[in-house]
């Protein structure tokens, strides 16, 4: 068997980083979730382009707090990334610290966003804009919360010493989800907060 | 090497060898992969073959339920001014019939085939995500039950399967009917999505070494294309239904005209999903034919690459033609022309496939047995359905025919012709693989002819009814409209068709008990699934084979050059449940994948998710929250990194033992 001989090389076993099934599954999940947000934003623009109402009802949105919040969320992504790099270079303490920081920043985002919701003078049922605003940011909030639970689990598993530089696929995969949640926010932010300035 | 402690080292050279039936290695494999007996094993199994059969049986039961609904409608319509059914009952019946056939039968039955066959065709020991596979089945089952619970209470969905607002809005439809549909569809969407993800990853990672992307069977191409489409399209319909539910129960305004909402948004979201879906339920079925027909023509499929490419081209175009369901909504003429043209273009790739099948029959030496009849019958129905489809793609004609029985005829030719006939043919074809027994030929031929004649008798006259102006979705009609004759013929034909299905079922039951025992490859077919015993053992392949051509079992005969596949000698991989992961295009060995054991997590996650939706339907807030928590816990337990799967690093002491 000529062909059989040539494959007599050692192969990694188990969930090895980007060769693991989970990594591929996560990418597929992100594609389908990304489409979900695509359809949400499609609905937003479709309805916005035909509306005769005040859009947004309270006038152009204030950008300061949401802008800062965006930076908070993005920086949290950076710390997840650092956490993974630290595993690769076997600095497990730093990895844990960085992951913890990422979680804290994520929680900050949630708190500030809840504040934003509170400040609105309308709710989901008040008008069309409210329906869209709260549904879209609500969907995103749901993803942030799921992402935070994932980060917390990763933190726990890191603390339990489950991973080192040889096996840490869960961190790569969970981290990828968190990056996705952050990138989606950029789209949501652009659509809901920036595009109203264009018309 | 002692087998009591599996080798957990993080890198190793995979052992090669052979493991004939009865050898120590083979017995060990069976131990590793077999599901425990009893109810625990029954609920926890992740074997793709069991799940595939469950999908097939469940979807077939839904076909029968939808069929009974259809027969009741045909009784009502057999003559004018009958009052077997009230208008409301008729509405619920045709809606449930549509929902059942479209969502609970036609895709799930194909998922059943693919779940059962993919790992066998690809030379793997299971799908990429066995537990996800189980989850997808359980949620499908629960979503089906969810959609049906309100039927006996007389509160079933009643606004047609595409459920247009404002008719489906709260204003015109106050009962729970539409909520059941909306929530049920979101639930079912989860099942379809995770199932599709599983297929895509399986294709890219789980093919036997040497099975490059141009050597996979067409069924795999069909299901792959459908799955990719689902991954993009399902969110659209789930979102549409979710927004509708918000409108109805939370008071949002997405479709609410008075407050600036737009009912057309519903149509866009629905058909952006709906049209790709139509292809998703036919492409894998076309794949069944492309793979099985050559076996009975005793030659390879003509134009493999053309058919594979046309499969994908159909889907790409399919995403561009959703507007053709909305020709009559007052869109700009330019848009109409564009989408009308696109709908015409889409018939080109389908024509490629048709010519490939005809050429295969023409150039081959056909063996006229039951599966062949079903596949050949399918080709004929495909042509008729396609022609009436091209007719409605012409915008002016669509204005005339929209909402008449012509459309009903067209969609039944497409769906029964391209889905039901290949599916029944496929069951005849793979039955020996599933159960190790042949189906009865005589009964088989009878069932085909009764079905074929009944079908054409029942559905061809519907074209005429449509041209005579009979609208669809009417519960009765006046005697002087001139529709009496066609409707009577249609009803008679429907019952003849149903009789054909009944004959098929009798054949299944009889053959299960008394069918002749078979060999691994009774049809002398070319593809890899026939290299395993019938029925295949729990581990599928005693050794992961090494593939050298598109027709591993016909290599001696075809001599396509390119060497011989190695089926007896291959990768042993038996340190726990294991299979080989390969690279996406060339299928070079890449990783030893550790496969999960049977688990109850999928069942419970499925159950709790269904209960979340039940809670939403009944407005039980606390219950819903509780069930969300239960889902999260099941998920955390599921995802918990395991040492046996090498998701985490082994402890220091164990590592020493493994190397020692
Ligand atoms: C014995 C076989 C069948 C019979 C006799 C039958 C008959 C019917 C009838 C009478 C209607 C209602 C037409 C109307 O009032 O507008 C209908 C609608 C429909 N059927 Fe069937 N059918 C059969 C099988 C199937 C199958 C196998 C599928 C799909 C795979 C299917 C899909 C549909 C759909 C999508 C509708 C439209 C429902 C709606 O208007 O919302 N049918 N069928």
pLDDT of B306 reads 92
- For an interface test with B, the pick among A39, A153, A164 (most B C-beta atoms closer than 10 Å) comes out as A39
Residue B385 in this model has a pLDDT that exceeds 50 = yes
**CB-hemisphere CA count at 13 Å for B639?**
22
How many structural domains comprise chain A?
1
What is the residue range of A92's domain? 18-49+64-198
Q: Is residue A12 part of a domain?
A: no
pLDDT band of residue A2 (cuts 50, 70, 90) is very low
Q: Is residue A10 part of a domain?
A: no
pLDDT digits (tens, 9 = 90+) for A90-148: 999 999 999 999 999 999 999 999 999 999 989 999 999 999 999 999 999 999 999 99
Whether B251 sits inside 8 A of A1 (CB atoms) is no
Q: Is residue A33 part of a domain?
A: yes
pLDDT of A17 reads 82
What is the rounded end-to-end Cα distance, in angstroms, of chain A?
69
Residue B319 in this model has a pLDDT that exceeds 90 = no
Residue of A12, A51, A169 with shortest CB distance to B260: A51
Please state which of the ranges A6-20, A163-177, B533-547 shows the lowest mean pLDDT: A6-20
Contact map slice: B 552-581 vs A, CB within 8 A? 563, 566, 569-570, 575, 578, 581
pLDDT of A1 reads 37
Q: Is residue A5 part of a domain?
A: no
pTM given for the model = 0.94
B200 CB within 8 Å of a chain A CB: yes
Q: How far apart are CA B45 and CA B134, in angstroms?
A: 8
pLDDT digits (tens, 9 = 90+) for B621-659: 999 999 999 999 999 999 999 888 888 887 755 544 444
B319 CB within 8 Å of a chain A CB: no
CB B150 within 8 A of CB B180: yes
Q: How far apart are CA A11 and CA A20, in angstroms?
A: 12
CATH of the domain at A91: 1.20.120.80
Q: Is residue A4 part of a domain?
A: no
Nearest to B237 by CA among A127, A43, A144: A43
Residue B1 in this model has a pLDDT that exceeds 50 = no
Cα(B493) to centroid of ligand 1, in Å? 13
pLDDT of B657 reads 43
B98 CB burial (10 A radius; 0-12, 13-18, 19+): buried
Tokens of A138: 């609500």
DSSP B163: T
pLDDT digits (tens, 9 = 90+) for B126-148: 999 999 999 999 999 999 999 99
Q: Is residue A101 part of a domain?
A: yes
Enumerate the residues of chain A whose CB falls inside 8 A of the CB of residue B16.
1, 4, 8
Q: Is residue A2 part of a domain?
A: no
DSSP secondary structure string, A6-60? HT-S-EEBS--GGGSHHHHHHHHHHHHHHHHHHHHHHHHHHHHHH--S-SSTTSS
Tokens of B277: 């879906």
Over chain B, what is the mean pLDDT?
90
pLDDT band of residue B327 (cuts 50, 70, 90) is low
Backbone phi and psi for residue B589, each to the nearest 5 degrees, phi listed first: -60, 135
What does the angle CA B286 – CA B288 – CA B290 come to, to the nearest 5 degrees?
A: 70
pLDDT band of residue A5 (cuts 50, 70, 90) is very low
pLDDT of B236 reads 96
ipTM value for the complex: 0.94
Q: Is residue A151 part of a domain?
A: yes
pLDDT digits (tens, 9 = 90+) for A137-183: 999 999 999 999 999 999 999 999 999 888 999 999 999 999 999 99
């Amino acid at each position: 068997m000529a062909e059989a001989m040539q494959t007599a090389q050692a192969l990694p076993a188990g969930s090895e980083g980007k060769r693991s099934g989970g990594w591929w599954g996560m990418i597929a999940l992100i594609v389908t979730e990304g489409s979900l947000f695509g359809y949400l934003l499609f609905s937003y623009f479709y309805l916005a382009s035909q509306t005769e109402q005040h859009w947004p009802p309270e006038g152009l949105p204030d950008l300061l707090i949401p802008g800062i919040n965006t930076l908070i969320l993005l920086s949290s992504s950076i710390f997840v990334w650092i956490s993974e790099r630290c595993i690769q270079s076997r600095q497990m303490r730093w990895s844990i610290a960085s992951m913890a920081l990422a979680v804290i920043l994520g929680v900050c985002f949630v708190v500030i966003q809840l504040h934003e919701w509170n400040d609105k003078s309308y709710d989901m049922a008040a008008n069309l804009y409210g329906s869209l605003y709260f549904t879209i940011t609500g969907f995103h909030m749901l993803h942030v919360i799921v992402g935070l639970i994932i980060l917390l689990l990763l933190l726990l598993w890191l603390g339990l010493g489950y991973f080192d530089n040889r096996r840490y696929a869960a961190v790569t995969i969970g981290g990828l989800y968190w990056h996705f949640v952050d990138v989606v926010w950029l789209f949501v932010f652009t659509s809901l907060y920036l595009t109203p300035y264009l018309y | 090497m002692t087998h009591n402690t599996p080798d957990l080292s993080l890198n190793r050279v995979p052992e090669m060898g052979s493991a004939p039936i009865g050898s120590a290695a083979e017995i060990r494999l069976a131990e590793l992969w077999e599901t425990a007996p009893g109810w625990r094993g029954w609920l926890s199994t992740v074997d793709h073959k069991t799940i595939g059969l469950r999908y097939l049986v469940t979807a077939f039961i839904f076909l029968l339920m939808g069929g009974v609904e259809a027969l009741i409608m045909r009784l009502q319509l057999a003559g004018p001014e009958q009052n077997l059914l009230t208008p409301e009952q008729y509405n619920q019946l045709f809606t449930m019939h549509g929902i059942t056939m479209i969502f609970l039968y036609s895709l799930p039955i194909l998922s059943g085939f693919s779940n059962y066959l993919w790992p066998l065709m690809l030379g793997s020991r299971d799908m990429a995500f066995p537990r996800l596979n189980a989850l997808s089945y359980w949620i499908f089952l629960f979503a089906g039950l969810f959609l049906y619970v309100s039927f006996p209470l007389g509160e079933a969905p009643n606004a047609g399967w595409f459920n247009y607002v404002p008719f489906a809005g709260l204003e015109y439809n106050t009962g729970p009917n539409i909520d059941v549909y909306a929530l049920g569809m979101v639930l079912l969407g989860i099942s379809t999505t995770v199932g599709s993800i599983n297929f895509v990853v399986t294709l890219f990672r789980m093919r036997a070494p040497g099975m490059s992307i141009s050597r996979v069977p067409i069924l795999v191409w069909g299901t792959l294309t459908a799955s990719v489409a689902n991954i993009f399209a399902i969110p659209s319909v789930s979102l549409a239904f979710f927004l509708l539910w918000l409108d109805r129960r939370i008071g949002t305004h997405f479709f609410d005209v008075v407050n600036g909402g737009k009912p057309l948004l519903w149509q866009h979201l629905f058909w952006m999903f709906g049209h790709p879906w139509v292809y998703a339920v036919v492409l894998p079925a076309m794949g069944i034919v492309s793979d099985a027909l050559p076996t009975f023509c005793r030659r390879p499929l003509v134009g493999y690459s053309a058919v594979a490419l046309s499969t994908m081209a159909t889907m790409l175009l399919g995403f561009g033609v959703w507007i053709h369901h909305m020709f009559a909504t007052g869109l700009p003429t330019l848009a109409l022309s564009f989408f009308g043209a696109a709908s015409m273009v889409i018939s080109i790739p389908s024509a490629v496939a048709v010519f490939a099948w005809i050429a295969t029959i023409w150039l081959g030496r056909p063996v006229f047995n039951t599966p062949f009849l079903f596949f050949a019958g399918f080709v004929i129905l495909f042509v008729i359905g396609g022609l009436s489809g091209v007719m409605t793609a012409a915008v002016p004609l669509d204005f005339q025919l929209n909402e008449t029985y012509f459309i009903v005829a067209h969609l039944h030719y497409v769906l029964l012709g391209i889905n039901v006939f290949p599916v029944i043919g496929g069951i005849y074809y793979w039955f020996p693989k599933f159960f190790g027994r042949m189906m009865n030929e005589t009964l088989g031929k009878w069932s085909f002819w009764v079905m074929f004649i009944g079908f054409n008798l029942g559905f061809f006259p519907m074209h005429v009814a449509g041209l005579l102006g009979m609208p669809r979705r009417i519960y009765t009609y006046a005697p002087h409209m001139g529709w009496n004759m066609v409707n009577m013929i249609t009803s008679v034909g429907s019952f003849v068709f149903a009789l054909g299905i009944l004959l098929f079922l009798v054949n299944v039951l009889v053959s299960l008990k008394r069918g002749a025992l078979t060999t691994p490859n009774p049809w002398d077919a070319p593809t890899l699934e026939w290299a395993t015993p019938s029925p295949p053992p729990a581990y599928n392949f005693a050794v992961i084979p090494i593939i050298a051509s598109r027709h591993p079992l016909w290599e001696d005969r075809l001599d396509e050059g390119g060497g011989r596949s190695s089926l007896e000698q291959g990768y042993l991989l038996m340190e726990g449940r294991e299979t080989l992961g390969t690279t996406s295009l060339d299928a070079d060995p890449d990783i030893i994948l550790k496969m999960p054991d049977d688990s109850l997590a999928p069942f419970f996650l499925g159950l709790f998710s269904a209960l979340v939706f039940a809670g939403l339907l009944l407005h039980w807030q606390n219950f819903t929250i509780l069930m969300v928590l239960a889902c999260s816990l099941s998920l955390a337990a599921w995802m918990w990194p395991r040492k046996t799967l090498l998701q985490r690093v082994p402890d220091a002491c164990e590592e020493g033992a493994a190397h020692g």
